[in-house]
């Protein structure tokens, strides 16, 4: 229908992008090379349409987006093709003219918000700058528009956030700010590169519904680059499958999911985790050597709190506190996996960092193998750091851009591993790590910026494994990965756990992944755990209304968009949480007693507790 009645707003013809590099000839001489990462692709995008590009990490999806926006890194260049925006070839424009297009007529949501937001400017300054540059709004009117778009994308306490800096926000909140910046100028075309990667399912549903509504109201076209096929099935009209720089299949979504034609497309669908439908990897969890006793807790956390002071005035007095974590208790055994789930900004990442003693404001008790980590300082704490490691959510921000990958991996071994390793031994272990996470051995000679987002995450995982830890905090370790690579990484973590007995605290918003890898799950809301227990009990028979809302918002291939339940309202501010149960302002079943006092934990089944006053 589009092709017959509507002109495309964007046409891409024969786009070819290469990355310049170097190689060694047979005689050892250096010679220039040019690797085609986008290899002659064609597609059209129509007003009001969402066209999704899917494929494995490294296939060229993000380079395609950057090519359209003319934001390629120095080593990459477009060597052929046309990018026609309403008939105007963007590749032929001078940079001064392209600046008027970029951000106004065509905007982009980047995959890694931490590297896209200016760390020394407040969020308000950055938003207002975009609005003033591309619209007629100025000063107070521009600030009001900035506040409005932050509220549209579900940023809680948006007025306060305007005065904060990017480092003060969680990964999910930073992503929502990036989305707000892209939508602030009402572009004709929105290029969305993994726009919901860092978002939990409830906010993801809100943001995607917002994009769909804006499409209807403005006729905005969306080029959606994602590895989440369930999102594609609900929100896109057409899909293009990319492999090795080429579009190997383009079809209407309904046709594609019913009958994918290309073998690579069939592999992608086969690797998709399906909640409560397809069992996870075959697991043989590590067992305690003493079969007569239950394995004692390797990690026992009691009443963990992280309250950040808010200072104001000339004397910088404390006027309030951000209750990021407000009394969390949990336990984890060796060889087991505990998943921590909840909305962006609920405190999941802060819990992980506080357990590893990476936050000074933490209080409570963190017992690791019988030793209270809260009491360790300086050298005593450093000596135990090889026992627990973390895989950060944002691999680009956590990898030193000035170090080669081999040096990044060797650094941990030299600092925390066995003393006296020779250069040859270090090189051998680095090579084994790279192979273990699915990267070629020559990856060690390259820098982090030379890899795709998914490949960088594998480097981050290899760094965590380098010192053979007993506990790994996995902070969204597969959020940047496509489904096939995600399956490889999950299998890697489970195999490692089976062989070594490492315990995993798995922080994730992907319920299907949680069901595959975890033994137990804890659900967080506004700094507190509202329900926890065995995975099968919590995910199949959720007792807390918030847990049920989370599960209802999980996108699936067979659930129409209209049936995706949206949780009403926004996450309250942790500065001033609601009285009583923090969830009651959004709870469809709230009772008067819910407003009076925070409910105490009660056991509803073996190992399954819930903090809710509602009857069973």
DSSP string spanning 567-599? PPS-PPPTTSPPSSSTTGGG-TT--GGGGTSPP
> Which CATH number does 298-610 carry?
3.40.50.300
**What are the pLDDT digits (tens) for 70-122?**
999 888 999 999 999 999 999 999 999 999 999 899 999 887 777 789 999 99
- Domain residue spans of the chain: 2-22+33-270, 298-610
Predicted pLDDT of residue 559: 60
Q: Homologous superfamily of 2-22+33-270 in CATH?
A: P-loop containing nucleotide triphosphate hydrolases (3.40.50.300)
Label the pairing between strands 189-193 and 106-109. parallel
* pTM of the complete model: 0.75
Predicted pLDDT of residue 394: 75
> What dihedral do alpha carbons 604, 607, 613, 616 form, nearest 10°?
-20
| DSSP single-letter state for residue 471 | E
Please identify every stretch of the chain with a pLDDT value under 70, giving residue numbers as ranges: 1-4, 22-31, 171, 197-198, 273-295, 419-420, 480, 558-566, 568-570, 615-616
Predicted pLDDT of residue 273: 64
Predicted pLDDT of residue 194: 84
C-alpha to C-alpha distance for 544 and 551, rounded to whole angstroms: 11
Cα Rg for the chain, rounded, in angstroms? 25
Q: Do domains 2-22+33-270 and 298-610 have the same CATH topology?
A: yes
Residue count (the chain): 616
Predicted pLDDT of residue 215: 82
Predicted pLDDT of residue 276: 44
Residue 611 CB-half CA count within 13 A: 22
DSSP string spanning 100-129? HHBTTTEEEE-S-HHHHS-TTS-HHHHHHH
């Amino acid at each position: 229908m589009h092709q017959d009645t509507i002109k495309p707003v964007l046409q891409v013809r024969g786009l070819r992008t290469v990355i310049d590099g170097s190689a060694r000839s047979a005689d050892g001489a250096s010679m220039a090379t040019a690797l085609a990462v986008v290899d002659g692709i064609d597609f059209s995008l129509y007003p009001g349409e969402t066209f999704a590009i899917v494929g494995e990490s490294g296939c060229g999806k993000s380079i395609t987006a950057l090519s359209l926006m003319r934001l390629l890194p120095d080593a990459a260049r477009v060597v052929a093709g046309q990018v026609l925006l309403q008939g105007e070839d963007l590749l032929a424009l001078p940079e001064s003219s392209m600046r008027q297009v970029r951000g106004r007529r065509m905007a982009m949501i980047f995959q890694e918000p931490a590297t896209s937001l200016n760390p020394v400017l407040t969020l308000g300054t950055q938003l207002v700058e975009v609005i003033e540059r591309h619209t007629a709004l100025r000063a107070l009117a521009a600030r009001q528009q900035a506040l409005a778009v932050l509220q549209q994308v579900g940023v809680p306490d948006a007025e306060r956030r305007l005065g904060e800096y990017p480092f003060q926000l969680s990964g999910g909140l930073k992503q929502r700010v990036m989305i707000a910046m892209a939508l602030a100028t009402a572009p004709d075309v929105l290029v969305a590169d993994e726009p919901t990667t860092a978002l939990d399912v409830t906010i993801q549903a809100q943001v995607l519904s917002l994009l769909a509504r804006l499409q209807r109201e403005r006729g905005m076209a969306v080029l959606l680059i994602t590895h989440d096929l369930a999102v594609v099935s609900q929100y896109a009209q057409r899909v293009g499958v990319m492999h090795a720089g080429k579009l190997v299949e383009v079809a209407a979504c309904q046709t594609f999911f019913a009958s994918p034609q290309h073998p690579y497309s069939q592999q992608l669908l086969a690797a998709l985790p399906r909640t409560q439908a397809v069992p996870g990897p075959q697991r043989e969890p590590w067992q305690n050597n003493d079969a007569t006793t239950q394995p004692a807790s390797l990690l026992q956390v009691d009443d963990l709190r992280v309250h950040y002071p808010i200072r104001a005035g000339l004397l910088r007095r404390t006027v309030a506190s951000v209750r990021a974590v407000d009394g969390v208790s949990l336990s984890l055994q060796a060889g087991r996996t505990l998943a921590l789930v909840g909305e962006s900004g609920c405190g999941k990442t802060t819990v992980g960092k506080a357990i590893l003693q990476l936050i000074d404001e933490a209080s409570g008790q963190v017992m690791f193998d019988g030793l209270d980590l809260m009491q360790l300082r300086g050298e005593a704490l450093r000596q135990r750091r090889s026992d627990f490691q973390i895989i950060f959510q944002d691999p680009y921000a956590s990898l030193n851009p000035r170090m080669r990958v081999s040096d990044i991996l060797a650094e941990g071994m030299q600092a925390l591993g066995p003393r006296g390793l020779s250069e040859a031994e270090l090189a051998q272990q680095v090579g084994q790590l790279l192979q273990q996470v699915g990267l070629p051995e020559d990856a060690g000679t390259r820098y982090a910026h030379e890899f795709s987002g998914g490949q960088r995450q594998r480097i981050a995982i290899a760094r965590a494994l380098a010192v053979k830890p007993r506990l790994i905090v996995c902070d969204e370790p597969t959020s940047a990965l496509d489904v096939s690579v995600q399956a490889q990484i999950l299998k890697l973590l489970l195999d490692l756990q089976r062989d070594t007995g490492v315990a995993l605290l798995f922080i994730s918003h992907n319920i299907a992944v949680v069901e595959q890898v975890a033994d137990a799950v804890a659900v967080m809301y506004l700094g507190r755990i509202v329900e926890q227990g065995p995975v099968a009990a919590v995910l199949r028979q959720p007792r807390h209304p918030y847990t049920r809302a989370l599960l209802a918002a999980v996108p699936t291939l067979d659930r129409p968009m209209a049936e995706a339940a949206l949780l009403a309202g926004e996450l309250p501010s942790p500065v001033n949480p609601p009285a009583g149960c923090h969830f009651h302002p959004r709870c469809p079943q709230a009772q008067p007693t819910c407003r009076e006092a925070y409910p105490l934990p009660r056991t509803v089944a073996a190992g399954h507790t819930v903090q809710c006053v509602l009857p069973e």
